[in-house]
Structure 1
Amino acid sequence: MAVLCKPAIAVPEYVITNEETLDLARQLHGDHPQIDLVLRLIEHTGVQKRHLIQPIEKVLQHPGFDARSITYEEHTRARVPAVVRRALDHAELEPDQIDLIVYVSCTGFMMPPATSWLIGEMGFRPETRQLPIAQLGCAAGGAAVNRAHDYCTAYPDANVLIVACEFCSLCYQPTDLGVGSLLSNGLFGDGIAAVVLRGSGGTGVRLERNG
């Protein structure tokens, strides 16, 4: 039975608190017709602080899609390998023992995908299978575990690395003033997580099925 090992997580160094977020919303959108609703929603998210890959002042500058894509790639390359390495250590495996990498991210774009770069950078086997998943948002982590479990069910001795890399601050759009978007601006932060699903061996949560 497949075992989901201990995950590794990392958050960037810049922090914005809930109170700072509320103050910022008042400054930027004080004349919004639904500002009171937005403030109540942000206040009651339960999120006390968020981590960002850049200072909030730089996030608000919004230099355009091309510049943000460059920032996404730079921070992916700089931050993801260390998290992957810790996840592999928790699973007591080396990169060449991984058979599939499932990589989820909907807040940036790389071509070739980050999976290809990781394979070349960290010593995974050239034939390591790749499954980049985009556009699933909050459901992506669960979907990644499901696909990893499917793979280990088909290949009981396989090992699957799952990586989630989301830099939500890069999706800020200053002209999008819908209540849902303003709530998202005050709710989501940046972070990376990685975990290994071992088809056999390992210590962690045993997965019987997925859905």
Structure 2
Amino acid sequence: MDHTAALVSLATSVPPHLFHQGEILKAARAVMADRYSQFETLASLFANTGIRHRYGVKPMEWYLERRGWPERTQAFLEGAESLFLDVARKAIASADLAPADIDTVVTVCSTGIATPTLEARVASKLGFRTDISRVPIFGLGCAGGVSGLSIASRLAQARPGTNVLLVALELCTLAVRHDELTKANVVAASLFGDGAAAVVLRAGDGGATRIEATGEKLWPDTLDVMGWSVDPEGFGVIFQRTIPDFVRDNLGPAVAEILARMELPIDDIDRFVCHPGGTKVIVALERALALDQGALDQEREVIADYGNMSAPTVLFVLERLRAHGLPKRSLLTSLGPGFTASCVALRHAA
């Protein structure tokens, strides 16, 4: 019997408010241009991201006012609970299960703080059992979708026959700042959106797509590459280095190292499934992985339709690739605070 974890279902969800990229630029200009002399120089970022539109948990008017921790936290709790319920129900139903059939729930989120955590807050509304195992994970950022899938798969493998629900949910837009007149803040305003993805995993029985292996690479002395600063107003984005350059120079050797530990030749990977941090990051990924320019087509489409939603974004890409038909072997990759590369190898039986 194959005790590797099978991907039973995958679902995605976004909040109700749709923002076109030009609309977001107009709003950012209204908030920042008069106070930040470099804004117009940086405004081209909005056109160069490849993003058509994004989704937010609040209407545009909400973001135009300065907000502190209490308002951000209230918006996070309301929006995240609603999105969690929607995406979890979709994934559970797609797996032909009921919420009471879920044995373990893994929640990945780095854009808000909730104690009790999100899965506890929605447990009674969803119908989880009282003996469900809860695994909330904070701080993985953009690596969270792949790292979360890795953790959830190992939990499923440890208890064959049980159902593990992974929910990766981020409300990046709630971190918009009026006070930080910096290039990093303009970059964040041009890129980030809100969304959620959910996966049901189970080991010990049949499944067309299985988690074959997982691996990570943590680079030393890279705490400043990406993360949050925390102050009385809320989270503030940290981008201290040029991430596309870091990806181009470092990801290829890291993936080769991870695949060697997995005992998988790189030539056996039919499709890399990448977290699309933005257009420049996608180009850097193609170069780092020696792919043809344009090979990461679904990554470009996801970033165009949703922006960078942090952790769940790569699972949106996987959802589209599943709809088109997965090849025999694919490798999910994402990069996040640490600075860390996370990989999951999928084996698919047609």
TM-score w.r.t. length of structure 1: 0.90
In the TM superposition, residue 202 of structure 1 has moved relative to its aligned partner by 6.1
Q: Answer 1 or 2: which has greater strand percent.
A: 2
Q: Within 5 Å, which residues of 2 pair with 1:101-116?
A: 101-116=105-120
- 1:152 alignment counterpart: 156
Cα distance in 2 between the residues matched to 1:95 and 1:77: 16
Partner residue in 1 for 2:193: 189
Residue of structure 2 aligned with 1:11, choices 9, 14, 17: 14
For 1:80, what is the secondary structure of its paired residue? Answer: helix
Unpaired runs of 5+ residues, structure 1, are none
Kept in 2: contact 1:105–1:135 (CA 8 A): yes
- In the other structure, the counterpart of 1:42 is 46
Give the residue type in structure 2 aligned to 1:150: R
Q: Secondary structure at the match of 2:114?
A: coil
Which residue identity is paired with 1:138? C
- Inter-partner Cα distance in structure 2 for 1:91 and 1:113: 24
Q: 1:184 is aligned with what amino acid? A: A
1:101/1:162 contact within 8 Å kept: yes
Q: Find the partner of 1:77 among 47, 69, 81.
A: 81
Q: Is this contact kept in 2: 1:17–1:50, CA < 8 A?
A: yes
For 1:4, give the aligned amino acid.
L
Aligned pair 1:86/2:52, yes or no?
A: no
SS of 1:87 mapped into structure 2: helix
**How many residues are matched?**
211
Matched position secondary structure for 1:106: coil
Deviations 1:38-75 (A, max 9, x none): 22322211111011121112112133211221121122
Give the gaps of 5 or more residues in structure 2: 216-350
Equivalent runs, 1:164-175 vs 2, <5 Å: 164-175=168-179
Measured in 1, the distance between the counterparts of 2:183 and 2:47 equals: 14
Q: Secondary structure at the match of 1:96?
A: helix
Amino acid at match of 1:183: V
CA contact (8 A) 1:91 1:202 kept: no
| Comparing 64-73 and 119-128, the one that deviates more | 119-128
Query: Once the 2 structures are TM-superposed, how far is the Cα of residue 203 of structure 1 from its aligned partner?
Result: 4.7
Percent identical among aligned pairs is 34
Q: Output the CA distance in 1 between the equivalents of 2:18 and 2:74.
A: 22
Quick check: 2:31–2:178 contact (8 Å CA) kept in 1?
no
Give the C-alpha shift of residue 208 in structure 1.
0.7
Matches within 5 A, 1:101-140: 101-140=105-144
SS in 1 for 2:24: helix
TM (normalized to structure 2)?
0.56
Shift of 1:33: 4.1
Counterpart contact for 2:28–2:189, Cα < 8 Å: no
